[in-house]
Amino acid sequence: MYSPDSCSLEDAFGELSLAPETNRSLVTRTESDDEPDGRQSLFEDCQGISKNAFSRPVFYRVIDSNSPALASNGGLRARLYPPPSLEKVTRDNMKLSIGSHANLSSRKLTPFISTTPDLLRAFNIAGQRVFNGKEQVTILLIDPWKLLDGSYIECNALRLKSGLEMLPKYETELLVWAEVPVGAIFCRWTWPELLRSGLFETLPSLNGSGRQMKLETSREEMLRHLDDFSPLSIATNLAALGMDPSSFATKQVFEFLLGQVLGSAFIGSYKLSRTNSLPITSPK
């Protein structure tokens, strides 16, 4: 696990520019950056952050003790593994598989693994599983660059190709075909580790209490953290979870959280639904 004492967290985030015109750049800090007005100017300068911060965001997957067993090497496998050959899968077969995967009560095995680039959605799902008494609740962080070529697709895009209706509740769901190699999983946040990290104290609306909570309620509550958002606290919390504060992935997570505090409706190209009546499903 990365030790926050081994480098300066202030250096890791203090000079990070979150300007929307660039993915990552450094700016020179001034004394005013440590004052309330200086901090507020930082927020004012990055209103579009989550819209432009990264072209390929981190994927998240929530698992618990009832999830499909991990592969022997620690990777993820779909309930139907090995999968059928894609060359032999017809459009009708794909349509049936997608429908079965979306039906949480279905016992039909499918070759899909649901993931999301929406960290707030992942926290919401994890909190609900804790609320429902699930054990060993864990959020996996996945580097999409290390997934097999062509192995994932936006859920709504595949629904459209298969003749199914695109639905708002699937806007930030991505389906991975068959498996997530262990090398693509760069961090595993267990619920006890999240509780110990202090992240829930820094951002209470992440549902650390395991409430039965609508995702849109969580998004609305995040807006209340603007005045007390502390980059150093967030960096410290993420380091306590085993993340290297100087890594690009850590900065992506940080930028996403800041974007939610600012009320951004996008994660890269993925639009976040803000319709309260939409049901939030927990991916299989």
Low-confidence winner among 19-23, 72-76, 114-118, 270-274 (lowest mean pLDDT): 19-23
Confidence of residue 222 (pLDDT cuts 50, 70, 90): confident
Same domain, 103 and 8: no
Same domain, 46 and 80: no
With 0-12 / 13-18 / 19 or more C-beta atoms within 10 angstroms meaning exposed / middle / buried, residue 39 is: middle
Same domain, 84 and 175: yes
Rounded to 5 degrees, φ, ψ at 20 are: -70, -15
Average pLDDT, the chain: 76
Of 160, 189, 218, the position where a domain reaches its end is 189
C-alpha span between 121 and 218 (Å, rounded)? 9
283 belongs to a structural domain = no
pLDDT at 186: 93
pLDDT at 159: 93
Q: Residue 19 is which amino acid? A: A
Query: Mean pLDDT over residues 254-282, rounded?
Result: 58
pLDDT at 107: 79
- How confident is the model over 147-182, as pLDDT tens digits? 988 899 999 999 999 999 999 889 889 999 999 999
112 belongs to a structural domain = yes
Same domain, 92 and 174: yes
93 belongs to a structural domain = yes
Q: 25 or 204: which carries more pLDDT confidence?
A: 204
- Domain containing 76 — which CATH number? 3.90.210.10
Same domain, 229 and 256: yes
196 belongs to a structural domain = yes
pLDDT at 275: 33
Same domain, 163 and 218: no
Same domain, 176 and 85: yes
Q: How many distinct structural domains can be found in the chain?
A: 2
Its domain, for residue 160, covers 59-189
